Structure 1
């Protein structure tokens, strides 16, 4: 159920991202009105331009640095989400026993199952919805950063490496790298997770659908956004590896052990 919620939230996030494209045509500056523009998008735009000017008007490098800074800010939320996810994973065997004990589908039995499940969460001090909160908090930041890049005029007039920041990558290198890094990041996130067959199917769908969608978007959008996606994904890959390192090594050793037994 929890993975289904994440699946729906992921799709909703994409819809939110696309729905904002109509406003992206409007440049952001100090005269922009509205809470979203004034308190989220404009401050991020100022941060990008300030860091870029400090780096010698290198807006590409400025986007790289600010992307890393934003990811560092939300890092504690991601660590909390990972810890909560691991706690939920540890409870899966006991939750399976409860479902087997209260397998009847009548209302009274299902109510008893719900009560026992909530008691189990309370006993181990686990909040089943806690994993959603970091996602809800970081989404405005990440989408605001996306808008800040798209609507800051200075970015469109600068180049970085082989591409112009204001136009799509002519060689399609960034979109392809964005898709590949999205796949790797999601693969690492899934590693070591114990899921039901239904959940595994949903996660596998997202594993392949998301990278393809990112590539399609990156081909059409300015290269500055592709750069943001690539840097953010690389940071997330490193972050996931260090946070889930023991679990990843355990999974790898288990697979190797299984291979040797065969």
Structure 2
């Protein structure tokens, strides 16, 4: 077999693999939307949930999903950017940095249910927070942090060296170079990492079952971080596992469709500005 024929065959196989993956994803999403979109309504999306009577909504769960996500990102993003910049710009290749990278990668592979149990032991029991929004957010931070650190480090490393050299040659300090040159040019990669972690966190259940609980407050919009905070993904699991409402299948279908739509919209909100910023930076570099 000649090299050209082998190259075309390999390319065809890669295309087929990509089409199969896209087909599976499309079938999965279309099935969820087909089952759940007819359930969606204003009352369902923004109404109060019910434990016994049919016709309950998921307003509080939807709010808690974004509230817990926001709190976790407010803690994890500064820490991740600081750690990523340190590893890429300041740290030397030694045993300490190797240990930090190994620890980060090991933490990224820990199953979420183990992190949930850890959060329950530390935040719920040891620190006396109980099942609370703040306990869920802090535990969710442990899920987001390792991915964000690695993505930030790689994004900072991918900034061309001559950008740094040009800034330093103009008399800028190392910190000024990082703040005004390196970080702006690495923003598209960092935003991509935030998008991935945010989507994963919105669909997380195991961590939040053990830390944020499976109940909500009386108010749909509740900013009290010490109250229990069932999220949309946890509510989906709860109604199908132990729920007593007669329309639990419809609630689960609607919750699944709403969760998929929410994640898709969130990805677009992060991706579009990232692409625009990337084009501007690319145009400015020529």
When the two structures are superposed, what TM-score results if normalisation uses the length of structure 1? Answer: 0.25
Q: Which structure is larger by alpha-carbon Rg, 1 or 2?
A: 2
TM-score (structure 2 length as normaliser): 0.24
